Amino acid sequence: MDGFSSKDSLPLPESWAQARAGWVASDSLALIVIPLIFLVSMITVTLTGVSVLAGIVDSLVRVGLCVTLLWLYRPLLVDHWAKFREHRWRNTGIVLSGAVLLQVVIWAVQLLLPRRTGSGDDAPPLIDPVTAQGWDIIILFVVALGPLAIVMVEEAVFRHTLLVKLPWWRNRATAVVGILLNGALFGAIHFYNFGSLLGTVPYMVVGVLMNLLYLWQRNLWLVMLIHLVNNAVLTLGGLTLLFIFRNFVG
């Protein structure tokens, strides 16, 4: 399609015939990965309630699926990594500034939204990281792996399979619809993080921005690393700083 320059070797599909021709087994698996995560989570919560065990199972399932997708997408990832290294300093700058921009965008969009009340966000954690000791600390870090592992899953699904492998690219109008719908769906899957569709709106905006970045650079590592840095700072980074201050500063 005119107006979208592809840095990848494969053209953006403009018809279902072209999409089918470029479809591979990893794309089919990618489509079922996120529903599978939700299914396992529902089953685990049904059997154990909202529990530490449910959190551990969810995290380990995400790690397993992440490893699976890394293996299945390895030719694409190897190719994209080689291209990433060709301009490593520029791309590193894009990753770091992109991770900061994500938080700025999320904060700014949240300011524009009406405040939610009674959402259940203030429920106490199952394990309090401030007072955690021994095995509880290990469990916290295991559970924190979930948001890191989901990066590969979400970027492979939304930025690759559901964006550049589907025939959105017949003309500008369908391309815009595809980019916006993809971003909206990306935000909507975070529904259970916030308990309302309104709470996912900032992530819908982020999804659209990540789509545009991927279309601009056509490098999966760029969007994956931005997403990874963002999630790592919010999870492992937060836990690490908390334990440092608790044990060596406080």
Q: What is the pLDDT of residue 117?
A: 59
Q: Is the pLDDT of residue 84 over 70?
A: yes
* pLDDT band, residue 135 (cuts 50/70/90): confident
Question: In whole angstroms, what is the distance from residue 132 CA to residue 155 CA?
Answer: 32
Q: What is the pLDDT of residue 116?
A: 67
Q: What is the pTM of this model?
A: 0.88
- Domain locations along the chain: 16-115+124-249
Q: Which two tokens stand for residue 220?
A: 């999966």
Question: In whole angstroms, what is the distance from residue 204 CA to residue 214 CA?
Answer: 15
Question: In whole angstroms, what is the distance from residue 126 CA to residue 108 CA?
Answer: 30
Q: How many CA atoms lie within 13 A of 191 on its CB side?
A: 7
Q: What is the pLDDT of residue 97?
A: 96
Task: Give per-residue pLDDT as tens, 144-168.
Answer: 899 999 999 999 999 999 999 999 9
Q: Is the pLDDT of residue 210 over 70?
A: yes
